């Protein structure tokens, strides 16, 4: 089978993937060797749904899932980035040819650090109210403003930025979407301390930061549409997976759900009430997996799907429920904390970190609005400023 014959039998594809992994992957318990992602990209396994011109195989979702399942079976990373790499997918769908040639493959190979420059102190849930401005000056834009809750800003090479480009247009129609170079004098990053004790988030101050014209995705006032594509990929990734325990406790049995593994480790599997609580969480996870498959089938490259909001909202509930059940399993032990009590420390960390998914990528409340309006067909919330020129919009 070659990249030009993507509809071959499933078994032929499975055999090809297994043979490639057998020849190249060092083993389940080994770390990925240096240059592994580049090798996956070169083998055309990283983005099997993408066209061949961009190192894909033109596979449909059913065949692409075979590739991902075989990589997962041996613990090898790198496949399925056509679903999970929001940077590369957004760029491929809406970027200029020059920017795609420059960054798509490095993004797939993990050679470029990225961050999201969306939220602002006065524009979080309502991103269309952003006031960071991008003014065109010849062949570049000059960017001024402030962003907040930005993960990885200190190490990123580029930030996916939304900024106001037209103050006389209604708020959804006067926004541009950019790949802003982060390593320049006009970008200042300050860390924010989180409830978990970490500082993964930052606030970013932009003062006459320069962004080349070729780094604009879509038209200068079409950023809201580009953002919807990017958010769909972000919600897809957040809806399928979430950060696990800091120390990996409760995951000693690879075949088990981590919650079941923890219950066995703590000797709690004989309690029928706890078993029922564990079963509820496991069922939620299985249902979410099925919904994610449905959403992927509904979504085409470069588009967005409202069904992604179902997965993200479900994952938020799963994380909070799993943290609650972990606490029940440990009982009084969950009152402990620190490295001397790793099971309790992990449980408390997961309890606090669950709020990341409840807020990041659009809050649970925003997801419910999207589901109500776009999936269930309920009446939209009133927006009295939707068609008002942005400079005339009242702010508190």
108 within domain boundaries: no
Task: Write down which residue in 191, 221, 251 finishes a domain.
Answer: 221
Helix (H) or strand (E) holding 304: none
62 within domain boundaries: yes
- pLDDT score, position 395: 72
Helix (H) or strand (E) holding 73: helix 61-73
* Beta strands 114-117; 158-164: pairing state: parallel
| 52 shares a domain with 133 | no
| 212 shares a domain with 134 | yes
- pLDDT score, position 14: 96
| 247 shares a domain with 370 | yes
CB neighbour class for 348 (10 Å; exposed up to 12, middle 13-18, buried from 19): buried
| 148 shares a domain with 63 | no
Kindly report each contact of residues 273-282 with a partner whose C-beta sits within 8 Å and lies 24 or more positions away, as own/partner.
Answer: 274/325, 274/328, 274/329, 277/325, 277/328, 278/325, 278/329, 280/321, 281/257, 281/318, 281/321, 281/322, 281/325, 282/257
370 and 307 Cβ atoms separated by less than 8 Å: no
The count of residues in the chain is 396
- pLDDT score, position 287: 86
382 within domain boundaries: no
| 309 shares a domain with 195 | no
| 310 shares a domain with 248 | yes
326 and 250 Cβ atoms separated by less than 8 Å: yes
pLDDT digits (tens, 9 = 90+) for 231-244: 888 877 765 655 55
| 321 shares a domain with 262 | yes
pLDDT digits (tens, 9 = 90+) for 101-116: 999 999 999 999 999 9
275 within domain boundaries: yes
Among all chains, which residue has been given the structure tokens 């449905």?
A: 294
- pLDDT score, position 39: 97
91 within domain boundaries: no
* Maximum separation of any 2 CA atoms in the chain, in Å: 71
What string of pLDDT tens digits covers the 396 residues of the chain? 444 444 558 999 999 999 999 999 987 767 888 899 999 999 999 999 999 999 999 999 889 999 999 999 999 999 999 988 999 999 999 999 999 999 999 999 999 999 999 999 988 778 999 999 999 999 999 999 999 989 899 999 999 999 999 999 999 999 999 999 999 999 999 998 777 776 678 999 999 999 999 999 999 999 999 999 898 888 777 656 555 565 544 333 334 688 899 999 999 899 999 999 999 999 998 888 887 777 666 655 555 567 778 888 888 999 999 999 999 999 999 999 888 999 999 999 899 888 878 887 778 898 899 889 888 899 988 888 888 999 988 775
Mapping DSSP onto H, E and C, the string for 84-123 reads HCHHHHHHHHHCCHHHHHHHHHHHHCCCCCEEEECCECCE
DSSP structural state of residue 59: -
230 within domain boundaries: no
- pLDDT score, position 386: 83
| 370 shares a domain with 258 | yes
- Beta carbons within 8 Å of 290's beta carbon, 6+ residues apart: none
Range of the domain at 175: 114-221
| 127 shares a domain with 67 | no
- pLDDT score, position 253: 37
| 338 shares a domain with 304 | yes
392 and 266 Cβ atoms separated by less than 8 Å: no
Q: How far is CA 358 from the centre of its chain?
A: 13
Q: Return d(Cα 55, Cα 36) in angstroms, integer.
A: 15
- pLDDT score, position 124: 78
Percent of the chain with pLDDT over 70: 88
Domains contained in the chain, number = 3
| 160 shares a domain with 277 | no
Closest CA to 21 of 52, 3, 43, 5: 43
Q: Return d(Cα 277, Cα 28) in angstroms, integer.
A: 31
100 and 55 Cβ atoms separated by less than 8 Å: no
**Which tokens sit at 96?**
């200029």
138 within domain boundaries: yes
381 within domain boundaries: no
Q: What is the CATH number of the domain that holds 179?
A: 2.40.110.10
| 365 shares a domain with 248 | yes
Q: What is the CATH number of the domain that holds 339?
A: 1.20.140.10
Task: Write down which residue in 63, 84, 105 finishes a domain.
Answer: 84
- pLDDT score, position 234: 81
- pLDDT score, position 252: 37
């Amino acid at each position: 089978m070659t990249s030009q014959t993507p509809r071959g039998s499933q078994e032929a594809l499975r055999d090809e993937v297994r043979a490639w992994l057998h020849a190249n992957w060092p083993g389940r318990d080994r770390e990925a060797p240096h240059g592994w992602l580049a090798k996956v990209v070169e083998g055309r396994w990283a983005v099997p749904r993408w066209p061949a011109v961009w190192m894909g195989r033109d596979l449909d979702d059913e065949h692409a899932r075979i590739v991902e399942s075989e990589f997962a079976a041996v613990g090898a990373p790198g496949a399925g980035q056509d679903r999970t790499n929001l940077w590369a997918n957004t760029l491929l769908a809406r970027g200029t040819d020059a920017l795609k040639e420059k960054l798509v493959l490095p993004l797939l190979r993990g050679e470029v650090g990225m961050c999201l420059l969306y939220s602002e102190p006065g524009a979080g849930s309502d991103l269309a109210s952003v006031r960071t401005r991008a003014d065109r000056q010849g062949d570049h834009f000059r960017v001024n403003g402030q962003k907040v809750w930005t993960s990885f800003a200190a190490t990123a090479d580029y930030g996916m930025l939304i900024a106001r480009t037209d103050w006389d247009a209604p708020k959804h129609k006067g926004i541009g979407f950019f790949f802003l170079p982060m390593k320049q004098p006009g970008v200042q990053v300050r860390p924010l301390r989180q409830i978990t004790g970490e500082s993964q988030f930052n606030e970013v101050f932009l003062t006459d930061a320069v962004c080349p014209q070729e780094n604009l995705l879509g038209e200068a006032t079409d950023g809201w549409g580009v953002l919807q594509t990017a958010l769909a990929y972000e919600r897809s990734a957040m809806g399928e997976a979430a950060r696990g325990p800091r120390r990996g406790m409760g995951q000693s049995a690879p075949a088990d759900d981590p919650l079941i593994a923890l219950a066995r480790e703590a000797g709690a599997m004989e309690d029928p009430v706890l078993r029922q609580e564990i079963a509820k969480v496991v069922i939620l996870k299985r249902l979410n997996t099925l919904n994610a498959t449905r959403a992927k089938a509904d979504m085409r490259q470069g588009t967005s799907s409202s069904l992604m909001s179902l997965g993200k909202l479900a994952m938020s509930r799963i994380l909070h429920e799993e943290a609650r059940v972990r606490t029940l399993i440990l009982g009084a032990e969950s009152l402990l904390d620190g490295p001397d009590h790793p099971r309790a420390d992990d449980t408390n960390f997961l309890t606090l970190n669950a709020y990341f998914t409840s807020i990041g990528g659009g809050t649970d409340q925003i997801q419910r609005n999207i589901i109500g309006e776009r999936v269930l067909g309920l009446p939209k919330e009133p927006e009295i400023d939707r068609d008002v020129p942005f400079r005339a919009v009242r702010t508190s």
